[in-house]
Amino acid sequence: MTQTLKENYLKTVRPALQKELGLSSIEATPKLEKITLNTSSKEFKTDKELLAKTKTWISAITGQAPVETKAKHSIAAFNLREGEVVGLKVTLRGNRMYDFFQKLTSIVLPRIKDFQGVSRTTIDKGGNYTLGLSEQIVFPEVEYDKIGRIQGLEITISTSAKDAKSSLLLLTALGMPFTKEI
């Protein structure tokens, strides 16, 4: 994918944000730092085929191999033993991050059924935005016949913004389709 989003950020969005936020340095303007995707399932420990299929579709949508996350403690109530695989995660930075963000905002989110925009309230105090998707099949790379079953996915967009307001301005300027203000 071409780096149109990154170029747009550097040439137009960053100077506009600097002016709007009243910052003295262009380097102090908020920017995307990383995007983290993760998914989990209690069946990863017993169904190795499901784990392999999940690794395949996460690799397809991100262009990067996922890392297995393992249980740190044994919990008898959940039938969970220390060291068992409980999830998969991918951290995107640099060009892959910008490519994924552009694909997310322009292709994936509009494919969600009855999409009205994403919530403005899930930005934390540190300026990070978390988005949960209930189905991975909204990504065009995922083929329903090859995935085994529908799984949810959590996407966390980490920014260098110091507060929620400046993070909201950055994400809006980059094209995140937020719900309309009431």
- Cα separation, 179 vs 85, in Å, equals 36
- Cα separation, 55 vs 65, in Å, equals 7
Tell me the pLDDT band of 87, cut-offs 50, 70 and 90.
confident
Cα–Cα distances (Å) from 180 to 29, 122, 173, in that order, read: 25, 15, 15
Which tops the pLDDT comparison, 107 or 85? 107
**pLDDT for residue 182:** 60
Q: Which of 1-5, 16-20, 47-51, 78-82 bottoms out in mean pLDDT, i.e. has the lowest?
A: 1-5
**pLDDT for residue 89:** 95
- Cα separation, 167 vs 29, in Å, equals 10
- In degrees and rounded to multiples of 5, residue 159 shows phi and psi of -120, 165
**Domain boundaries along the sequence of the chain:** 4-174
Inform me whether the pLDDT recorded for 128 exceeds 90.
yes
- Cα separation, 8 vs 173, in Å, equals 10
Residues 26-70 have pLDDT tens digits of: 998 999 999 999 998 888 878 888 888 889 989 999 999 999 888
Six token digits for residue 28: 């102090």
CATH ID of 4-174, from 3.30.470.20, 3.50.50.60, 3.30.70.260, 3.30.1440.10: 3.30.1440.10
For the chain, percent of residues with pLDDT exceeding 70? 97
